[in-house]
Amino acid sequence: MSEDTLRRLLDEGASGVEVGPVPLAAIGRRARRRRTSFVAGAAAAVVLSAGVGVGVAQVVAGHHGAGPAAPTKDYRRDEVPVFLPTGPEVLGGAHDLKLTVLTGRLVATHDDRCLVLESGDAVVPVFWPDGYEGLVHDGSGFSLLDGRGEVVAEVGDRVELGGTFLDPASWSGDDLCIPADQKSFLVRQAPTVVD
């Protein structure tokens, strides 16, 4: 574009510049493409939300493949069928504590939500190894699963547990299966069924 043409255009202003016809068909195609992309994106978001919702529902419902429930006693019965508290961190590490062998029968308490050990006349609250889970059997008890998902014991089995007794902690009682005023047992070895 020459300098004269540029000066003339600046003097005349934008209204004097000739423009071709407006490409309405092209604009319409772009708008349809944008709507289609938006609808496809919205559909993908709905599918993703549904998938996340199912995953969250399994965790809240205590689905055995989703892992153990969170440590609280505020869940309703139908939200957390099995609750297995895992061991707390022990100052100096649990390996420094004396190993005690405790023998008793696995008992379900709190409407089949907790798994404790009945040893003699005492009911002993238990901290299970990390990764252990409970699997409900249609409301008729449950199995204890290890970190690999294999059945270790069933409710009613007589077992030997190797571990350490712990005094009540300041947070004891917040947990459904660990009373505030009682020693609990920290399991440090895999349970063994003895009969």
**Tokens read off for 35:** 């709507």
Q: What is the pLDDT of residue 117?
A: 92
- Does position 30 have pLDDT exceeding 80, yes or no? no
Q: Give SS3 for 9.
A: helix
Q: 47-68 pLDDT, tens per residue?
A: 455 454 444 444 333 333 333 4
Q: Where are the domains of the chain?
A: 3-61, 94-193
pLDDT digits (tens, 9 = 90+) for 177-191: 777 778 888 888 889
Position 152 pLDDT exceeds 50: yes
Tell me the mean pLDDT in the region 164-182: 73
How open is the CA angle 58-62-63, to the nearest 5 degrees?
55
Q: What is the CATH number of domain 94-193?
A: 2.40.50
Cβ-contact 166, 127 below 8 angstroms: yes
| Spatial separation of the C-alpha atoms in residues 143 and 52, rounded to whole Å | 28
With bands split at pLDDT 50, 70 and 90, how would you rate the model's confidence at 81?
Answer: low
pTM of the model: 0.54
